[in-house]
Chain A
Amino acid sequence: MRPRLVVIGNGMAGARTVEEILARGGDFDITMFGDEPYGNYNRIMLSNVLAGVEDESGIFLNDLSWYADNNITLHTGTRIERIDRHAKRVYCEDGTETPYDKLIIATGSRAFVPPIPGLHRPGRGYHQGVFAFRTLDDTRSMIRYAREHERAVVIGGGLLGLEAARGLQNHLPHVTLIHAAGHLMNAQLNEVAGETLRATIEAKLGIEVVVNGRTTEIQGKHAVTGVKLGDGRVIPCDVVVVAAGIRANAEMAAASGLVVERGIVVDDQMRCQDEDDIYAVGECAQHRGETYGLVAPLWDQAKVLADHVTGVNPYAEYHGSQVATKLKVAGVDVAAMGLQAPERDDDESLTFTEPRKGIYKNVIIRDGRLVGATMVGDVKKVAFLMQAFDRGLALPEERAELMFDLGGPAGEVKVEEMADDEQVCNCNGVSKGAICGVVQGGCKTVTGVMDKTRAGKGCGTCKPLVQRIVEWAAGGEVEEDPAASFYVPGIPMPKPELMNAIRLHSLKSVSAVFATLGGEEDAKSKMGLASLLKMMWGGDYVDERDARFINDRVHANIQRDGTFSVVPQMKGGVTTPAQLRRIAEVAEKHDVPMVKLTGGQRIDLLGIPKEKLPEVWADLDMPSGYAYGKSFRTVKTCVGSDFCRFGVGDSTALGIALEERYQGIEGPGKMKLAVTGCPRNCAEAYVKDLGVVAIDGGKWEIYVGGAAGAHIRKGDLLTTVSTPEEVITLTGRFLQYYRENANWLERTYAFVPRVGIDRVREIVVDDADGIAAALDAAMAASVAAYRDPWKDREEPATPGQFRTSLPLTVLPQVPVRA
């Protein structure tokens, strides 16, 4: 027999969760109970139904045939009274019992009705003329009653109250909005924004607004005749709509013995506390202390629940949602997300107001990320802001671009003004027209378009532009790509979950990971997985050579003609005459086409055919400089106090010590370091993944997250220490934290701002999480496992490891410089 799945609540969360379960092939006998007499409809659209811009029939999401087609037994108009957790049964009001194997509670919430005298009539529900605004039935009766009356008062000036007030204007001439707090939408907006909104609502819509209005009484003997306020004022009216907030429908769950606080308490799998077979989802659920009153979070919750209950991904976790709100009142644009006002001293806050036009804009930035935004009266930038907020995107240096579309060369290029043949991706030569073509072909995710065209897949600087073009071409219908959060595209898990799963199943090879977690092998995921597994298991990692990129198979960097470059280690950029002589001899002996100084202060021998690599290494007899891997590369140094007349610290000695210790360590991206002997910064330490600067008084500053490649960023000051030993320890700890937590190919310049330098400092320097010792130990293990790959040259690791792949081409193809 198939397991029985019972769902209590046939609203937006309940029905969506069932859809997600079906989409995952979940094999259940499904029974749904709904208090309302309908199939699932789009509750959000009730505002539009009230406002007369949407027809009732247009709001149904799942009509009754959907339930029949999917073999779901639906009991409409049926309220569940009680759950027996031990007998695994639910009971209806009339005593009918239904057994379950898995139970989902999706009872949503109801209007919160403050205890105002006169709202209720003893024993008969609301007073004649009083309405809540939650269900289709509420909306229908409100419309019917309002049509025959004159004056309405809406209690509550939040999103729902504003939408109700606007909607009621469609049916009667006078609407007054009474709000208990000092300004409208106080849960989302600060005072100035709320005031701007009030002015617009009054002037543009003609709704009278009373703030600081405490309703003390509903007057009227047989029907409502007025509302009395705390200051004694009476507002005459014949309709009252209560929109003063919502309360989770959790009483039934509480009475049945589930843990309930403000909602039904659930864990990261949406399971009720201490229950294996009962889940809660939607507005009735409380996750990590939060209950939500918007639909976006419940879409995320439904996916995790479905992943878990079907077993498709038992490790799926819900981590809470960032919510952004938009007011659905025609002619009054309001959008808000995150903070309303700066909270910390170093939060950046930008505000623009133009009261005459009813415009107020504010953005709040912390550590380079958007943490709050409010737009009243002009929401043109909202799509971009929502994305930046949701995904923690890097923000334009020109902060005003967050609020305005700036013209001119300094601002962002306007997508609509670009010519079709204009090149967008300069690395892979992709034009705007090519991107639009793919979007029109039906691919509407940014990553999908990037995969198909290769736009944004070179140095990555054009990614934001690619994203904007896709958004423009898709006409706002860009689809979220769930894969954006995956560590590698081929395994549907973010990094922490993936690492948990790898540990849980002891997966020690890339093929084992695919077999257990991914299903299909994926070429583009192999390298990232190999790096992660090697970091996690060290010596126990089962090395399958095909999981490596060619550079890592042959320990050299492939060049445009299929030859390779050989960069021997030169710690801290310090060499000796003997070393130079040896390199010169090797270059001569093998007719090396080009000998070049690298940006990382070493010597590069370019144009070496694959089959000659072992011989060149043997002749050099120097360790590998790792100029080819996603790994610790080099420590650039200046001459420092030994020779430089400005030097205040021995930068070369420290650089050499760092390279000696961390040489060859693999990670999610390259790690380039530098140590400079004074703040003149000759070794460019401010723009390295980790840069060390000697300062006067024998101290050392450590900067992290810098970059000076396609992306340029000055590193953030992590801390200042007094000894080189401390620098070495903190370097290892920071790099290990990065290795364990960064996404594949996420360089420190993206990782550090994503996590936030304060948080990085808490962990790495202050050890606030108590994991410093573990990070140090993990790094020490990796250090101990180091072995120079160029030593393995006597015997090929695999058959034909160094066999040429282009045997008939005359090499080299690159010009030889004398």
Chain B
Amino acid sequence: MRAIGFLDEIPPGEGRTFAVDGEMVAVFRLRDGSVRATQAVCPHKGGPLADGQIDLKQVVCPLHLNAWDLSTGCSLSGQPDVAVYPVRIDDNKILLGE
């Protein structure tokens, strides 16, 4: 588990991309206060998932509006699934990994 950034870098209901060991991870701050992390690059055609719109369940890629379940990474519109990572908040720090 490691700290990759701070919660207040992400406005409520939005996502931001963080670099972790040469990998890119999109972290989303849900409006219920919890966070989710997925791979940053859309498996469809490489769109930036962190720029997508979210709710408590899904993220919608801004390029072609495909959607993925934020908790499981399962595609909701017939695309390949995305990787999801365990993530939590500890005192404003974003902690990624088990």
B11 touches A805 (CB 8 A): no
A553 proximity list for chain B (CB < 8 A): 14, 51
B77 proximity list for chain A (CB < 8 A): 451-454
- Pick the residue among A457, A551, A561, A800 that contacts B16 (CB under 8 A): A800
A559's nearest neighbour on chain B, judged by CB, is: B63
B62 touches A549 (CB 8 A): yes
- Hey, what's the 0/1 contact readout for A446-477 against B, CB within 8 Å counting as 1? 00000111100100000000000000000000
A558 proximity list for chain B (CB < 8 A): 48, 51, 62-63
- Pick the residue among B9, B13, B17, B56 that contacts A805 (CB under 8 A): B17
B52 proximity list for chain A (CB < 8 A): 523, 550
- Hey, what's the 0/1 contact readout for A438-452 against B, CB within 8 Å counting as 1? 000000000000011
Output the residue of A452, A806, A807 with the most chain B CB within 10 A.
A806
A805 touches B67 (CB 8 A): no
B11 touches A546 (CB 8 A): yes
Q: How far is the CA of A800 from the CA of B64 in the complex (A)?
A: 23
CB distance from A700 to the nearest CB of B (A): 39
B51 touches A524 (CB 8 A): no
A806 touches B19 (CB 8 A): no
A520 touches B55 (CB 8 A): yes
B65 proximity list for chain A (CB < 8 A): 454, 457, 524
B64 proximity list for chain A (CB < 8 A): 428, 454
Q: How far is the CA of A451 from the CA of B31 in the complex (A)?
A: 24
B53 touches A526 (CB 8 A): yes
- Hey, what's the 0/1 contact readout for B4-17 against A, CB within 8 Å counting as 1? 00001111111111
B46 proximity list for chain A (CB < 8 A): 560-562, 809, 813
- Pick the residue among B11, B19, B24, B58 that contacts A523 (CB under 8 A): B58
A562 touches B47 (CB 8 A): yes
Q: How far is the CA of A87 from the CA of B33 in the complex (A)?
A: 51
Q: Is A804 an interface residue, CB under 8 A from the partner?
A: yes
Q: Is A106 an interface residue, CB under 8 A from the partner?
A: no
B62 touches A803 (CB 8 A): no
Are A560 and B63 also in contact (CB < 8 A) when A521-B55, A808-B19 are?
yes
A800 touches B13 (CB 8 A): no
Q: How far is the CA of A546 from the CA of B31 in the complex (A)?
A: 9
B78 touches A453 (CB 8 A): yes
Are A524 and B60 also in contact (CB < 8 A) when A800-B10, A805-B50 are?
yes
A544 touches B13 (CB 8 A): yes
A434's nearest neighbour on chain B, judged by CB, is: B78
CB distance from A668 to the nearest CB of B (A): 17
A409 proximity list for chain B (CB < 8 A): none
Q: How far is the CA of A800 from the CA of B10 in the complex (A)?
A: 7
Q: How far is the CA of A457 from the CA of B61 in the complex (A)?
A: 14
Are A454 and B78 also in contact (CB < 8 A) when A808-B19, A808-B22 are?
yes
Q: Is A661 an interface residue, CB under 8 A from the partner?
A: no
B10 touches A522 (CB 8 A): no
Q: How far is the CA of A796 from the CA of B65 in the complex (A)?
A: 26
B66's nearest neighbour on chain A, judged by CB, is: A454
Are A521 and B51 also in contact (CB < 8 A) when A803-B16, A806-B24, A807-B24 are?
no
B10 touches A511 (CB 8 A): no
CB distance from A810 to the nearest CB of B (A): 12
CB distance from A445 to the nearest CB of B (A): 15
- Pick the residue among B15, B24, B26, B49 that contacts A808 (CB under 8 A): B24
Q: How far is the CA of A561 from the CA of B24 in the complex (A)?
A: 15
B59 proximity list for chain A (CB < 8 A): 523
Number of chain B interface residues as a range: 35 or more
CB distance from A809 to the nearest CB of B (A): 8
CB distance from A563 to the nearest CB of B (A): 10
A546 proximity list for chain B (CB < 8 A): 11-14, 31, 53-54
A550 touches B55 (CB 8 A): no
B18's nearest neighbour on chain A, judged by CB, is: A807
Are A799 and B9 also in contact (CB < 8 A) when A454-B65, A523-B58, A546-B54 are?
yes
Inter-chain CB contacts under 8 Å: number: 109
Q: How far is the CA of A806 from the CA of B62 in the complex (A)?
A: 13
Q: Is B94 an interface residue, CB under 8 A from the partner?
A: no
B60's nearest neighbour on chain A, judged by CB, is: A523
Q: Is A184 an interface residue, CB under 8 A from the partner?
A: no
B47 proximity list for chain A (CB < 8 A): 562
Q: Is A527 an interface residue, CB under 8 A from the partner?
A: yes
Are A805 and B51 also in contact (CB < 8 A) when A547-B13, A799-B8 are?
yes
A803's nearest neighbour on chain B, judged by CB, is: B16
Q: Is A759 an interface residue, CB under 8 A from the partner?
A: no
- Pick the residue among A522, A524, A545, A550 that contacts B11 (CB under 8 A): A545
- Pick the residue among B13, B41, B58 that contacts A806 (CB under 8 A): B41
B49's nearest neighbour on chain A, judged by CB, is: A805
A560 touches B45 (CB 8 A): yes
B10 touches A562 (CB 8 A): no
B24 proximity list for chain A (CB < 8 A): 806-808
CB distance from A57 to the nearest CB of B (A): 44
A527 touches B53 (CB 8 A): yes
A521 proximity list for chain B (CB < 8 A): 31, 55-56
CB distance from A123 to the nearest CB of B (A): 69
CB distance from A800 to the nearest CB of B (A): 5
Q: How far is the CA of A218 from the CA of B24 in the complex (A)?
A: 89
B60 proximity list for chain A (CB < 8 A): 523-524
Q: How far is the CA of A550 from the CA of B47 in the complex (A)?
A: 12
CB distance from B42 to the nearest CB of A (A): 9
Q: Is A798 an interface residue, CB under 8 A from the partner?
A: yes
B22's nearest neighbour on chain A, judged by CB, is: A808
- Hey, what's the 0/1 contact readout for A757-777 against B, CB within 8 Å counting as 1? 000000000000000000000
B49 proximity list for chain A (CB < 8 A): 805
Q: Is B40 an interface residue, CB under 8 A from the partner?
A: yes
- Hey, what's the 0/1 contact readout for B61-75 against A, CB within 8 Å counting as 1? 011111100000000
24 A-B Cβ contacts within 8 A? A520-B56, A523-B53, A523-B55, A523-B58, A524-B53, A524-B65, A526-B55, A527-B53, A544-B12, A544-B13, A545-B11, A545-B13, A546-B54, A551-B62, A553-B51, A562-B46, A798-B14, A805-B40, A805-B50, A805-B51, A806-B24, A807-B19, A808-B19, A808-B24
Shortest beta-carbon contacts, A-B, top 4: A546-B13, A805-B48, A798-B11, A521-B55
* Chain A interface residues (CB < 8 Å from chain B): 428, 434, 451-454, 457, 511, 520-524, 526-527, 544-547, 549-551, 553, 558, 560-562, 798-800, 803-809, 813
